[in-house]
Amino acid sequence: MRSNVPSTNIIFNRVSESGTQQQHPTIVGVLNKPGTVISQGSNLKRTTAISTSLGPSPKVLIRPVSTSQPIIVSAQQQQQPKYLLSPTKIITALPTRTQIPITGSPTKVTVVRSQGPTAVRTGGQNVVVKTINGGQIEQKSSDSLATKPLTVVGQPQSSTSVSKVQLVRVVSTTATTSQPTTSISSTVRPIAPATQQIHIVQKPTSYHRRILLPASTPIAIKPAVSSVASGNSLLKPITTHLTSKGQSPHILSSSGGPSANNDAMKNLFRKQENGTSVYLETSGQRPRKPCNCTKSQCLKLYCDCFANGEFCQNCNCSSCANNLNHEEERSRAIKACLDRNPLAFHPKIGKGRNGGGIRRHNKGCNCKRSNCLKNYCECYEAKVPCSMSCRCVGCKNSEEAASTRLIRSLSHDSLNSDDLAPLASVNNWTVPERPVAASVGQVGTRREVPVAELLSDNDVSDCIMMCMLNQGEESCKLDNVLLELQLAIIQEFARCLTQVSCASRKTAPNPSIAW
DNA sequence: GAGTTTGAAACT
DNA sequence: CAGTTTCAAACTC
Ligand SMILES: [Zn+2]
Ligand SMILES: [Zn+2]
Ligand SMILES: [Zn+2]
Ligand SMILES: [Zn+2]
Ligand SMILES: [Zn+2]
Ligand SMILES: [Zn+2]
């Protein structure tokens, strides 16, 4: 902002148009300049000018998904107070992430809130300084109202509002210059024990990427996409929900081989939903789609059932031999396939969870006309970016493209699930479950993450901001270039949103936020 | 639902 | 291998 606050800025503006009924703010991420290094005892200053937030604040419970220590924000319980903002929302202690020792001076996060146009005109600024130090967040507030500094927000405002959130690098520790903000009574806080806690678990910062980079990437510019994943033993496998097609043979038949359990296919039933066929399982198992083979007898890899090493069950196939009644025939067919390709029944998508493996299509696709943006493409269908092993023409399913789509999606305040899916898949993010029907290509049923709603809770957004901040720092520590930094932050944003979304869906009585 | 498009699998 | 055909699903209308 100021003179001595220089160029390495991460600016996120949340702006909602005034007057319009539609108050969903637009979220734009802008990065001015590659941060050479933000870190180094990083003194970051975050200035927030916040106006009124949107209506109901989602009661959110963000579930930890990784091993790293969570940032904990205690929020007042229950959805209840729709407009009644809880006065006691506070950020309480958190053990710092273990992997990144905060050496030197503590990381400072300064939060400045000023009332938006429609809010109180006092013009007074409420300044909150959060200091992450030794695993604790201290908070200092300029006004003694420290107890409610974070909830200053005006009531569900009328029409006009402008919110801005800025992340600014501060050159010197003391350089709180322009802001009157700095000098403040230091109230430290754990103020109120909240009834409900919001946990946003920070992404593990020690990147595997460091390890991966030298080995696998000759290219310097690579979005900070793939890295994560493997480290978290607590991460629960997400793949299930991401493969809405019920395909993903790799997951089910990890053991491979046609003899894989067909028990999984028990209790399948069809269900109509929105005029679209949906295939669910009662036993809590994977949805599977019946085949419609007519000429292959379901004994060629054309048949998905057969290709997945499964027996046909509840299929619509004709002259099916992919069942126990034709074991001889079937065995021959299997042998023939293995003869042609010994890996015929191996998973098509590499596993990303362990061993630093990357989730990619093993053989790659060979698309010519779909730009790898339709389910004709096996990569796209599996929600993985195209990779080196692909021979596609005019591919728009690259990792970079996926990130670009995500950013564009965010800029419209709608985190499109289809745009998020590839990155989520790659990064092993846990994504809220969604009906199978809402799969790619179903224009009518496509859902979107209501970003604005999810961010309407200031504490939630605070947490997210901090996570983003941390990721930005980490990215800088890795000497990443601008693009990498940008993506790291954007993706962290998206990752947090998925957590919030997951939580809100779980908590909200009315899962209107479904996506 | 019928017809077209698509790219993997199979085949030559 | 490469070129062609077959196939079932994805997609379009
Ligand atoms: Zn079949
Ligand atoms: Zn079948
Ligand atoms: Zn069959
Ligand atoms: Zn492709
Ligand atoms: Zn591909
Ligand atoms: Zn591609």
Taking the CA of residue A302 and the C1' sugar atom of nucleotide B11, their distance in angstroms comes to 14
**Residue linked to tokens 């108050």:** A23
H/E element, A472: helix A458-477
Distance CA A444, CA A439 (A): 10
What pLDDT is attached to residue A286? Answer: 63
Residue A515 structure tokens: 């996506």
Enumerate the β-bridge partners of residue A219.
none
Give the rounded percent of residues in chain A with a pLDDT score beyond 90: 19
| Model pLDDT for residues A318-342, shown as the tens digit of each residue | 999 999 999 999 999 999 999 999 9
H/E element, A500: helix A482-507
What pLDDT is attached to residue A361? Answer: 94
Taking the CA of residue A333 and the C1' sugar atom of nucleotide B7, their distance in angstroms comes to 22
With contact defined as beta carbons under 8 Å apart, do A436 and A272 qualify?
no
What pLDDT is attached to residue A322? Answer: 97
What pLDDT is attached to residue A308? Answer: 96
Residue A86 structure tokens: 């809880």
What pLDDT is attached to residue A505? Answer: 58
- Is the pTM of the predicted complex or chain greater than 0.80? no
- What is the Å distance from ligand 2's center to A335 Cα? 19
A5 or A382: which leads in pLDDT: A382
A253 or A453: which leads in pLDDT: A453
- What is the Å distance from ligand 3's center to A513 Cα? 38
Taking the C1' atom of B11, which residue's CA lies nearest?
Answer: A340
What pLDDT is attached to residue A199? Answer: 63
What pLDDT is attached to residue A321? Answer: 97
Helices A482-507 and A458-477: crossing angle in degrees, nearest 10, is 150
Average pLDDT over residues A117-127: 27
Query: What is the 3-state secondary structure of A236-281?
Result: CCCHHHHCCCCCCHHHHCCCCCCCCCCHHHCCEEEEEECCEEEEEE
pLDDT tier at A448, thresholds 50, 70, 90: low
Chain A residues 399 to 458 whose Cβ lies within 7 Å of strand C are 440-441
Q: Is the CB of A302 under 7 A from strand C?
A: yes
Taking the CA of residue A377 and the C1' sugar atom of nucleotide B8, their distance in angstroms comes to 10
What pLDDT is attached to residue A400? Answer: 82
Highest mean pLDDT: which range of A56-70, A131-145, A282-296: A282-296
Average pLDDT over residues A424-440: 52
Distance CA A431, CA A447 (A): 13
| Model pLDDT for residues A89-105, shown as the tens digit of each residue | 222 222 222 222 222 32
Q: Is the CB of A374 under 7 A from strand C?
A: yes
DSSP letter for A99, please: S
- What is the Å distance from ligand 2's center to A293 Cα? 7
| Model pLDDT for residues A21-76, shown as the tens digit of each residue | 333 222 223 232 233 222 223 333 332 222 112 222 222 222 222 323 333 333 33
Q: Which amino acid is at A379?
A: C
Q: Give the number of whichever ligand sits closest to the CA of residue A402.
A: 6
Is the predicted pLDDT of residue A485 greater than 90, yes or no?
Answer: no
What pLDDT is attached to residue A305? Answer: 97
| Model pLDDT for residues A163-191, shown as the tens digit of each residue | 223 232 222 223 333 333 323 323 232 22
Q: Is the CB of A300 under 7 A from strand C?
A: yes
What pLDDT is attached to residue A473? Answer: 79
The protein footprint on chain B, as nucleotides within 7 A of a CB, is 5-11
Query: What is the 3-state secondary structure of A16-68?
Result: ECCCCCCCCCEEEEEECCCCCCCCCCCEEEEEEECCCCCCCCCCCCCCCCCCC
What pLDDT is attached to residue A319? Answer: 94
What pLDDT is attached to residue A222? Answer: 24
A467 or A285: which leads in pLDDT: A467
DSSP letter for A178, please: T
Q: Is the CB of A244 under 7 A from strand C?
A: no
Q: Is the CB of A365 under 7 A from strand B?
A: yes
User: In 3-state terms, what secondary structure has residue A463?
Assistant: helix
| Model pLDDT for residues A384-415, shown as the tens digit of each residue | 999 999 999 999 999 888 777 777 777 766 66
Give the rounded percent of residues in chain A with a pLDDT score beyond 70: 33
A120 or A2: which leads in pLDDT: A2
What pLDDT is attached to residue A10? Answer: 37
Highest mean pLDDT: which range of A61-65, A112-116, A463-467: A463-467
Taking the CA of residue A377 and the C1' sugar atom of nucleotide C5, their distance in angstroms comes to 20
Question: Which residues, 6+ apart, have CB-to-CB distance to A459 below 8 Å?
Answer: A73, A75, A89, A90, A91, A150, A198
Q: Is the CB of A367 under 7 A from strand B?
A: yes
What pLDDT is attached to residue A101? Answer: 27
Mean pLDDT computed over every residue of chain A: 52
Q: Is the CB of A375 under 7 A from strand C?
A: yes
- What is the Å distance from ligand 1's center to A296 Cα? 7
